[in-house]
Structure 1
Amino acid sequence: MKPVLFLIVCLVCSSTYGQEYRQLVNEANEKYLGKEYKKSVELYKRAFAKEQKNRTDFYNAGCSAALAGDGTLALSWLNQAFDNGYVNIRHMKSDSDLNSLHKTQGWKSLVATMQTKVDRLEAEYDKPLQAKLLAIYDDDQKDRQRIDGLGKKYGYNSKEVDKLWKTIAYKDSVNLLSVKAILDQYGWVGEDKVGPQANTTLFLVIQHADLATQQTYLPMMRKAVTDKKAEPSALALLEDRVALGEKRRQTYGSQIGEDSTGTAYVLPLADPDNVDKRRAEVGLDPLADYVKHWGIKWDVDEYKKQLPAIEKREGIK
């Protein structure tokens, strides 16, 4: 019996260890968003003392370190991001968080090393298709990134914001035609054919589409996740959108609503008690951390009390 008990103890410790790591990373991200870069760096240090394998976390930590003025640490973390599989050189070179590193020899060395690997990977890419998807990605994101700034300046219900949303809607319709043609011809192409950012374009455009289109391509994305050509975390968001569109409860709590007073809330959610277990299975952070971005304090017991009223408001039975 002792070996079995030992195994159980180790599994519990490992699970707790992972939770502590993710909590520290979430706190580090919050400090980054609050422009408290030195505090963000310290939290990342504590996190990496527990685990060192997530390329995205290393990259984000590198950004915090660069903004905190610690170029040496920033380059060290960026190199570890690369060692763990980060190859999105297009994004890295354009990321303003890293501008302070551009004249250093360490940066030039990292970019050169990464470019060599990217060139080797891209030798197998469909370059014309990649270029088309990257152009759509830029078109999809460029105006959306302006919404928050305009909203803070003129108000989110202002004519300036309304005009920008109309522009976005028009571009979405054009981009959707292109992406549907790609999906119908090639299927859900993975990173191995077009690279990570171009691959993400497929999800972005479909999630911004109408319900009928989302329903049409949801099975294709499910298969893409099974084939490791799409991320489970991205699929979770599309699953939630489709569920709510079909007047069903969402599964992962990714979709947020807003009442007449401007107060944000989690749209109807199935089995709220176990949502974090489901989120963890697809690589999403705990719901309490996710909803902080909307000023929501997650209280599952309180949410269950409010759920009937939320469902009535959203027309979900």
Structure 2
Amino acid sequence: MRKILLLPFIFLPVILFAQGQHTLMDTLRAQLEIVFKADQQYRLPLEGMAKKYGWNSHQVDSLYEGMSIRDSIDLGIVTHILDTYGWIGTDSIGPSGSTTLWVVIQHADPDVQKKYLPMMRTAVAQGRAHANELAYLEDRVALEEGRKQTYGTQFQLNKKTNKYIIAPIEDEPNVDRRRAAIGLEPLEDYARDAGIAYKLPASPPAKPAQGPDKNP
């Protein structure tokens, strides 16, 4: 009888811990859903507003002002989560929760992006974050550091034509292999969907093998 009576006391802390963890993750998941909606609140109407009123209009300026304020709030929430719990996996906060962590960091200042990039790399390696989303952050940080991007996710404005183009890519002829490996569509399709004319360059021809030197 004594052993039976002790069982509830042995398992009660474990049950409470599990319930506490479940409640915490549910709370964080719900919080991140709000953050994502807030992040998109000013970004989704931006292009339509610019087409209607112009990029230098008061309406667009108002969206940017609201975006800046909202981004600061969201960044505080997300960095607190990351600094406290690390990059929480999709198994705990769902795919959309992990996406929200990435979205907010991607929209932050370069120093913030660089700070949390290694954390996201580790999360992707452990299957707790999305590799295709990491590619965008990798490319942004590379360009900010004066390097070429790896996956071709980032655009830049051509000041001569005033049109957007794909930013410089390292080993560009093989970019689609890298994109396919992480679930991204071919770069030509990605560029076309963004209204950018792009043609993937052909790989340079292989150099013929040289025979032994016959000169004395």
Name the residue aligned to 1:105: none
- Greater CA radius of gyration, 1 or 2? 2
- Structure 2 counterpart of 1:144, one-letter code: R
Q: Give the alignment partner of residue 286 of structure 1, picking from 186, 193, 206.
A: 186
TM-score by length of 1: 0.54
Written as runs of structure 1 = structure 2, the 5 A alignment for 1:162-311 is 162-260=61-159, 261-301=161-201
Q: Is the 8 A contact 2:26 2:93 kept in 1?
A: yes
- Structure 1 counterpart of 2:180, one-letter code: A
Q: Can you list the C-alpha shifts for 1:240-285, whole angstroms capped at 9, x where unaligned?
A: 0000011110000100112234311011111111010111111100
- Structure 2 counterpart of 1:271, one-letter code: D
Name the residue aligned to 2:43: 144
What residue ranges of structure 2 are gaps of 5+ in the alignment? 1-21, 205-216
Rounded Cα–Cα distance in structure 2 between residues aligned with 1:285 and 1:125: 36
Rounded Cα–Cα distance in structure 1 between residues aligned with 2:183 and 2:150: 14
Q: CA deviation at 1:301?
A: 3.9
Identity across the alignment (%) = 45
Question: CA 1:276–1:286 in structure 2 vs 1: closer, same or farther (change >3 Å)?
Answer: same
- Structure 2 counterpart of 1:264, one-letter code: Y
Q: Can you list the C-alpha shifts for 1:113-134, whole angstroms capped at 9, x where unaligned?
A: xxxxxxxxxx687111112111
Written as runs of structure 1 = structure 2, the 5 A alignment for 1:48-127 is 126-127=25-26
TM-score by length of 2: 0.79
Name the residue aligned to 1:130: 29
Question: CA 1:162–1:262 in structure 2 vs 1: closer, same or farther (change >3 Å)?
Answer: farther
Q: Can you list the C-alpha shifts for 1:165-212, whole angstroms capped at 9, x where unaligned?
A: 121112111111111110010000112111222221100000001111
Rounded Cα–Cα distance in structure 2 between residues aligned with 1:135 and 1:146: 18
Rounded Cα–Cα distance in structure 1 between residues aligned with 2:186 and 2:75: 31
Q: State the structure with bigger RCO (CA 8 A, min sep 6), 1 or 2.
A: 2
- Structure 2 counterpart of 1:206, one-letter code: I
Question: Could you say what the CA RMSD is over the residues aligned between the two structures, in angstroms?
Answer: 2.0
- Structure 1 counterpart of 2:44, one-letter code: Q
- Structure 1 counterpart of 2:28, one-letter code: L
- Structure 2 counterpart of 1:167, one-letter code: G
What residue ranges of structure 1 are gaps of 5+ in the alignment? 1-122, 305-317
Written as runs of structure 1 = structure 2, the 5 A alignment for 1:6-25 is none
Rounded Cα–Cα distance in structure 2 between residues aligned with 1:266 and 1:157: 24
Rounded Cα–Cα distance in structure 2 between residues aligned with 1:241 and 1:186: 25
Name the residue aligned to 2:8: none
Rounded Cα–Cα distance in structure 2 between residues aligned with 1:158 and 1:258: 20
